[in-house]
A = this chain, B = another copy of it.
Amino acid sequence: MTSLPILAAGAGGDTIAHVVLALAVILAAAKLGGDIAVRLKQPAVLGELVAGVVLANLDLVGVTWFRALTGDATIGILAQLGVLILLFQVGLESTVRDMLKVGVAATVVAVLGVVTPFALGWGVGALLLPGHSAYAHAFLGATLTATSVGITARVLKDLGKAQQAEGRVILGAAVIDDVLGLVILAVVAGVIAAAETGAALSAGQTGIVVAKAALFLFGALAIGVVASPRLFAVAARLRGRGVLLATALVACFVLAALASAIGLAAIVGAYAAGLILEDVHWREFTQRGEQRLEHLVEPIAEFLVPVFFVLMGMRVELRAFAHPEVLGLALLLTVAAIAGKQACALGALGRGLDGLSIGLGMIPRGEVGLIFASIGMTLTLHGERIVDAGIYSAVVIMVIVTTLVTPPALAWSLARGERRAAARGRGAGGPPAGGR
């Protein structure tokens, strides 16, 4: 039973002792931060983010242990497992049929939410970075396109509104704009590479990216809807404990791995798995007295989801705010990021949806902007880096601000929509006409 210190620093560099200590600190910080946020009538996730920001930025006063966690591979994977489980859980609350009902709205929202920030970001670049090439400006636009849906999903969940029409539109649109963002990045990076080498961009390559993504989304959903009842019927015949949860997790993980394999985010697959699985598929399990799947997934989420949000907070470097030359670009970029996604509200027009909440829910850029920016740092054109350290810092600040403003803004907007619906209900003497 002994694990000796001599072997403790094993192959991976990470020891179990270090990992559990980090998890203990993260869970404690999450619950304390969440408590304060809830007392301030904010979603708990805001408290988790801020707890992470506070801990990691203790490096400004010389305490670097927490900052070091942001580079820890195992904690990073546990955080990603957490956001997978969160999206799976959110997906479980809706069905594929629910999603098809909001499909048109979600597509309109996604397209508007990609095109507008892309154009605005390009404009900000052209305005503030006249010395850089148009390619750099376009790249800046691309960093603003894809929504990081983890924050919004969590806020909707904290407020019990993930299964509302607005929630489904936002989540569906985020899946679609993930695909669109991928295409834009492929095109912009392709154009830059072509300009650098003098070769032409292959339209075929772009087409393949789009086709694979579309095939996955429609293929997984179509096959999944047919296969899922059969999978659970087979699983129900297995003896032993924990079969229902294990089967559901296997479905979630396989689709996540598939999504990742074709270049989409793993969480897109986890969300698709959640959409596909329906209560009726595991009726046999519940009929023999087992807990419902939602109840089984909940404790795993309670364990792992805060790891993701505290870690996201920890990735914030308050130091970045100290450079005045960066702040101007950061400010305009953030405005472009927020304003650009408000175009999404147009997608709600005439559908009885709360457009403001949809626009606000699409704001967070989370890790995606950072990933795009870090790809930009690896691209060069005639010896000039497409994204230099200053632009990268500005993107980091944009990510921080969009991440932190969304929880309170969305909570406020959803409450406002509810009050309006209630008022309309009282005024008309009947149920509200809108989708709320």
Q: Which residues of A contact B (CB under 8 A)?
A: 1-8, 10-21, 23-24, 27-28, 30-32, 34-35, 37-39, 44, 47, 71, 73-74, 76-77, 80-81, 84, 146-149, 174-175, 177-178, 181-182, 185, 235, 238-243, 245-247, 249-250, 252-254, 256-257, 260-261, 263-268, 291, 295-300, 302-303, 306, 366-368, 371-372, 374-375, 378
- Beta-carbon nearest neighbor of A48 in chain B: B240
Given contacts A2-B185, A2-B265, A17-B266, contact A253 B34 (CB under 8 A): no
Q: Contact at A73–B11, with CB atoms within 8 Å?
A: yes
A253 touches B20 (CB 8 A): yes
- What are the residues of chain B within 8 A of A32 when measuring CB–CB? 238
Taken together as a complex, chains A and B put the C-alpha atoms of A371 and B297 apart, in Å, by 35
A260–B20 CA distance with the chains assembled, in angstroms: 10
The smallest C-beta distance from A128 to any residue of chain B, in angstroms, reads 25
Interface centre among A17, A185, A245, A252 (most CB of B within 10 A): A17
The answer to whether B35 and A175 touch across the interface, beta carbons within 8 angstroms, is no
Taking the closest CB of chain B, its distance from the CB of A353, in whole angstroms, is: 21
Chain B CB within 10 Å, residue with most, of A11, A148, A239, A299: A299
Which B residues touch A81, using CB under 8 A?
16, 19-20
The reply to whether B31 and A243 form a contact with Cβ atoms under 8 Å apart is yes
- A302–B14 contact, CB under 8 A? no
Contact with A44, one of B4, B175, B240, B371 (Cβ below 8 angstroms): B240
Q: Can you list 16 A-B pairs, Cβ within 8 angstroms, ordered by A?
A: A1-B181, A1-B265, A3-B265, A4-B185, A6-B375, A7-B375, A11-B71, A11-B76, A13-B73, A15-B260, A20-B260, A24-B250, A27-B246, A35-B239, A74-B77, A291-B295
Task: Flag if B74 contacts A257 (CB, 8 Å).
Answer: no
Assembly stoichiometry (copies): 2
Q: How far is the CA of A30 from the CA of B243 in the complex (A)?
A: 10
Query: CB-CB < 8 A to A71: which residues of B?
Result: 11
- Assembly CA distance A371 to B16 (angstroms): 15
Measured in the bound complex, the distance between the Cα atoms of B182 and A23 in whole Å is 27
Q: Whole-angstrom distance between the alpha carbons of A44 and B367 in the complex?
A: 41
**A76 adjacent to B299 (CB under 8 Å):** no
* Contacts A16-B84, A39-B239 given; does A246 touch B2 at CB 8 Å: no
**CB-CB < 8 A to A16: which residues of B?**
77, 80-81, 84, 256, 260, 266
A3 adjacent to B240 (CB under 8 Å): no
CB-contact partner of A19 in B4, B30, B77, under 8 A: B77
CA distance A73 to B327 in the complex (A): 40
Known contacts A21-B253, A297-B299, A300-B303; 20 further A-B pairs (Cβ under 8 A): A1-B147, A2-B181, A2-B182, A3-B367, A7-B375, A12-B76, A12-B77, A13-B73, A16-B260, A23-B253, A24-B250, A24-B254, A31-B235, A31-B240, A39-B239, A241-B302, A246-B303, A246-B306, A299-B299, A299-B300
A291 to B263, CA, bound (A): 39
Return A201 CB to nearest CB of chain B, in Å.
17
CB–CB B14/A368 < 8 A: no
The interface residues of chain B lying within 8 Å CB-to-CB of A1 are 146-149, 174-175, 177-178, 181, 265, 267-268, 366, 368
The residues of B that contact A265 with a CB separation of less than 8 Å are 1-3
Q: Are B31 and A77 in contact (CB under 8 A)?
A: no
Least CB distance from A348 to B in Å reads 20
B249 touches A303 (CB 8 A): yes
Among A18, A260, A372, the most chain B Cβ lie within 10 Å of the Cβ of A260
Of B3, B12, B245, B375, the contact of A4 (CB 8 Å cutoff): B375
In whole angstroms, what is the CA distance A245 to B175 when docked?
Answer: 31
How distant is the Cα of A80 from the Cα of B371 in the complex, in angstroms?
31
A15-B260, A16-B81, A80-B16 known; A371 vs B4 contact (CB < 8 Å): yes
